Amino acid sequence: MFEKLRSKIPIDILNKEIDLENFISKARIEIDKNGYFIAKKLISNEWYHSCRKEAIEYFNKYSCKKNDLPTALRGNVSAGMADLLGYEKNTAWHLFRYCGFRWNKPNIELIKVLETSHSLSRIRNVIYGNDLEYGDFIEENNFFTYTSLSLYPLGGGFLNKHIDFKPSWNIKPMIHFKVELTHKGKDYNNGGLYLTDKSNNSICLSDYVDPTDIIFFEGSQPHEIKPTGSGKLGRIAFFEIPASVIPSSRKCIYSGDGISFPKKVLIKIINLL
């Protein structure tokens, strides 16, 4: 399993000193006990800084156009939809969010971010006990994963406290990972990722994360991004979201010849039911 896992991850992503078998064993124990685990120095320093550079340049380029952006995506994913950069400010969240889907050609502006997201999702699968490539593509149950890169802007970027479940509402909790590309106390002064652990303690995980560290946690533990304050950049982080496509988006008419327009409409209506 571990040799196969390494073969599915670009050689330069992980810290070469990491013992994958020992790391995954420790991660399982800590997540089961506390609801989270911080993998110190999991990815290489050079790779981390390449991801950071990509993300900062991307948001510097597009965040100034927030009034022209669509609403940020949160759920309701249709199979085959285009990648999306959106912006939203409401009572539940305030952020810029880029969503990248593997069925599309990779965004050349975020190549390292996307490769890292896909690789960590496979590591997450091994920790979780799923098949290595589970969610790489749409599964029979409509499950899949996609990359979410977010900027929580200075002066109040946030995400309300919530819990997540697998789309199938499986009793077994899902595992998330977070790659923080900007850091509290350096790039922004307040807020960060807060999680309620299994002892009911509220912990700011961002306080304990350094460059190249990766956070793993159970999505069923309450978590939130508290409002950013002042600083230089705001909070930038990414992860691979476990999700499911809208079932009706996978249904269509594959042959149009000889089918009347009213029948096509009827088929569309049936597929939406």
Q: What DSSP assignment string belongs to the chain?
A: -HHHHHHTS-TTTB-TT--HHHHHHHHHHHHHHHSEEEETT-B-HHHHHHHHHHHHHHHHHHGGGGGGSPPPP-S-BPTTPPPEEEEEESSSEEEEEEEE-TTSPP-GGGHHHHHHHHHHHHHHHHHHTS-TTTTSS--TTSEEEEEEEEEE-TTT-EEEEE----TT--SSPPEEEEEESS-BTTTBSS-EEEEE-TTS-EEEGGGG--TT-EEEEETTS-EEEEPP-SBSS-EEEEEEEEEEB-GGGG---S--TT--HHHHHHHHHHHH-
Number of domains making up the chain: 1
Output the CA–CA distances (angstroms, integers) from residue 78 to 73, 142, 190, 251, 272, in the order listed: 11, 10, 35, 11, 13
Which residues form the domain of 25? 2-272
Q: Look up tokens 């969240």; give the residue.
A: 93
Backbone angles phi, psi at 195, to 5 degrees: -135, 140
Q: How far is C-alpha 92 from the geometric centre of its chain's CA atoms?
A: 18
Q: Give the residue among 102, 51, 94, 56 at the shortest CA–CA distance from 72.
A: 94
Quick one: pLDDT at residue 167? 46
**Whole-angstrom Cα distance, residue 158 to residue 226?**
5
Quick one: pLDDT at residue 250? 85
Q: Look up tokens 């999991």; give the residue.
A: 42
Taking only the tens of pLDDT, the chain with its 273 residues reads 778 888 889 999 999 999 999 999 999 999 999 999 999 999 999 999 999 999 999 999 999 999 999 999 988 899 999 999 999 999 999 999 999 999 999 999 999 999 999 999 999 999 988 999 999 999 999 999 999 999 999 999 999 999 987 545 555 678 999 999 999 999 999 999 999 999 999 999 999 999 999 999 999 999 999 999 999 999 999 999 999 999 888 876 555 666 666 766 665 655 555
Q: Cβ atoms within 10 A of the Cβ of 17, count?
A: 7
pTM: 0.91
Q: Using alpha carbons only, give the angle 23, 14, 134 rounded to the nearest 5 degrees.
A: 70
- Residue 146 near residue 176 (C-beta atoms within 8 A): no
- CATH of residue 86's domain is 2.60.120.620
